[in-house]
Amino acid sequence: MLADATAAATPHALARALPEGFVLGTATAAAQIEGATTAGDRTSSVWDRFAAEPDRIIDGSDTSRTADHYHRFAEDIGLMRELGADAYRFSFSWTRVQPGGSGGLSREGADFYDRLLDRLHSAGIRPFATISHWDLPVEYPQGWLDRDTAQRLGDLAGLLGERFGDRIDSWITINEPATVTLNGYALGLHAPGHSLLFDALPTVHHQLLGHGLAVQALRAAGVPGRIGITNTHSPVIPASDSPEDHAMAALFDLVHNRIYADPVLLGRYPEAPDFLGDALAAFDEVPSEDLAQIHQPLDFYGLNYYMPTLVAAGAGEGESPDGTSAAMADLPFRLLAFEGVPTTGFGWPIQPAGFARALTEMQERYGDVLPPVYITENGASFPDEVGPDGTVDDTERVAFLRDHLAAALAAVAPGGPAEGLDLRGWFVWSLMDNWEWAAGFTQRFGLVHVDFTTGERTPKSSFRWLQQLIAARAEAR
Ligand code: FCB
């Protein structure tokens, strides 16, 4: 188990610990907030389709309205301004900007992002744009199982780079390829809903290739903004000292973390342990030209952190952090709950020390070749409600955010275990409550509460906390 520090940092103490130029921001993704799925010529994404299938989304909800950001973006940027945030990470809805997934940009779709970007600029907020945050067009027959989808991502990046390049501070090619492969193709918990276990592995390579092609397309379009990728990193803890548990923890670390970061940062896939037989053999045969495409110089690395993972040998019982998957019973390992560790509304373990560990692993593994790092997501869901006085007192989220930011800053500070890692910013997931994929509207992650019936926004205590931190930073300068 990882030991968490207990002293609570005040906003002033945290503000003093922020490195010069450190970016404080919030993050969202199109499918989770925009709604307006039939506006203009927008077509269906795999998440629209997945949500329409029976029993896929826990509360039977869908993408059609979510937080109605498409119509309320001006109000939402007003909230960011009130917060004082430096930056905003959003994603382009693929099927809004490129209906059907082919051809040029949609006029109406691109207009929406023009309006969003212009407003962010007038509010003095730096846009960090994710090109692919999970919402592939339904027209790609096998999704990321097809190699051709990589080329499609590259093409889209080129179009977006040409159109919006002058206004985007930082580009993220693809969000959390690990979650897409694990939840979407291996365990059937996310769109497109396949339960292929190890046969999902081609989606790793195709997403990474898509990333590499997107980087090259953005550079060819001459974008002045910086370019990176985002993955979610979870430090993996073996459940015991047994060699079996250690071997399975190493395997989970490989398929969750290293199989993505190694090719992107080192230009090679990690070596598979012998006991896996030929389950990862395809990676030994990847042509060196593909690895060269994937291994592009990056301006930054985006790291999302939510929780560590406890792994034991032996068949799974079907429980993953994102839901129950029968397919897990066929895996050689299982994921366990940490005993005595508090959890979020999602049941995810709250372990700031895991955040420090994730950063330390990045520094140890990639050290000199690691570009500057941004925490592109960090946050927690709790069952927040608007109280009788009209406020939302989410003290647990305040503690979560405070302790996680403190742990990350301490880890990279001189003498810290991740010293040398150039940490440049932290984005809270999320600006506002939104549609949490297969969990529908049951998990609230926002700094701002959203009434999903009326659309009304109410800043929570955590919003006030971040506002205070940003104000304290301005005073400390
Ligand atoms: C991440 C996703 C993001 C959000 C958070 C809670 O895996 O990138 O869209 O759902 O989890």
> Tell me, what CATH number does 63's domain have?
3.20.20.80
Domain presence at residue 135: yes
Tell me which residue range forms the domain holding 373: 2-235+248-312+340-476
Question: Is there a contact between 398 and 414 (Cβ–Cβ < 8 Å)?
Answer: no
In a domain? residue 328: no
CA of 155 to the centre of ligand 1 (A): 25
- pLDDT of 1: 59
**CA separation (Å) from 241 to 116, 140, 247, 339, 415?**
52, 45, 10, 16, 28
pLDDT at 6: 56
Active-site position among 361, 377, 396, 436: 377
135 CB under 6 A from ligand 1?
Answer: no
Euclidean distance between CA atoms 227 and 240, whole angstroms: 40
Looking at residue 69, its pLDDT comes to 98
Q: What are the tens digits of pLDDT across the range 103-139? A: 999 999 999 999 999 999 999 999 999 999 999 999 9
Tell me whether residue 436 is one of the annotated catalytic residues: no
Please report the pLDDT score of residue 325 as a whole number. Answer: 87
- Residue 205 has a pLDDT of 98
Residues of the chain below pLDDT 70 = 1, 4-7
Is 326 contained in some domain? no
For the chain, the domain total comes to: 1
- Ligand 1, residue 32: give the atom nearest the CA: 9
- Decide: 232 in ligand 1 pocket, CB within 6 A: yes
Residue 241 placed within a domain: no
The letter for the amino acid at 78 is G
In a domain, residue 84? The reply is yes
- pLDDT value of position 318: 74
Is residue 321, in this structure, part of any structural domain at all? no
C-alpha 275, offset from chain centre? 31
Q: What DSSP string describes 156-179? A: HHHHHHHHHGGG-SEEEEEE-HHH
